[in-house]
Amino acid sequence: MAYAPTASDGIFGGDVAIPPPAPDTDRPAAALVSRGIEFGRKLSPSSWEIVVREATSFDLACPDFVAMRIGNAVFHNGDHVRLDRGSYKVFAENVLPKEMSIVRIEPNPFNATTNIVVAIPEKGTANIEIFDIVGKRIAARTIEMTAGTHAILWDGRDASGGDMPSGIYFVRMRLGEASSCAKAMLMR
């Protein structure tokens, strides 16, 4: 079982997403049966109902900034979940990050654009810099951010708007005294 990073993306079972429901219906948008669990999407964009047809267990895969409340229990990424037969309400809850970091760059490698997903433990001014393989700074942004997880779009261009060539680039985020780096590969 995996949770999609944005509520509008739905919940995933394998490679199949349950889309958000149509606004004029009170039925689940879709149902998916995987390993004896039926997933159903309700009107709330952050909650689901699952029906477990036979006792099952699985390792939860979700971003570190998300907690999954299944019934009365809360689970995090990597937790082993055991469910008995029955119906469970499932809610996704954001978890404030403990430290500032670049969570991931997606897609990576990328062609035209990529999202730099960052985690910020408290409100602050983040400096995002992009460097080429020889260490030359090619782009920079300063962004006021609230606590939480954010996606910053990079369009593969330098500070003057020119397209950068294919290659490896380094992304550095600084917030106060903290710093985090990640590698991105641009493929034109």
Residue of 132, 26, 27, 13 lying closest to 61 (CA atoms) = 13
Which residues touch 168 (CB under 8 Å, ≥6 apart)?
133, 183, 184, 185, 186
CB 48 within 8 Å of CB 90: yes
Instruction: Tell me the per-residue pLDDT of 22-64, one tens digit each, with 9 for 90 and over.
Output: 444 444 444 455 566 665 555 455 567 777 888 888 888 777 7
Instruction: Tell me the per-residue pLDDT of 133-180, one tens digit each, with 9 for 90 and over.
Output: 999 999 999 999 988 888 899 999 999 999 999 999 999 999 989 999
Instruction: Tell me the per-residue pLDDT of 98-141, one tens digit each, with 9 for 90 and over.
Output: 889 998 899 999 998 999 989 899 999 999 999 999 999 999 99
pLDDT for 87 equals: 85
pLDDT for 168 equals: 96
The string of DSSP letters for 10-60 reads -EEETTEEPPPPPTT-SS-S-EEEETTEEEEE-SSTTEEEEEESS-EEEE-
* Cα 102 to Cα 118: distance, rounded to the nearest angstrom: 4
pLDDT for 45 equals: 55
Out of 65-74, 88-97, 151-160, the most confident range is: 151-160
Residue of 43, 75, 42, 71 lying closest to 58 (CA atoms) = 75
Q: Which domains does the chain have, with CATH numbers?
A: 2-94 (no CATH), 101-186 (2.60.40.4070)
Residue of 188, 186, 179 lying closest to 129 (CA atoms) = 179
Residue type (1 letter), 62: C
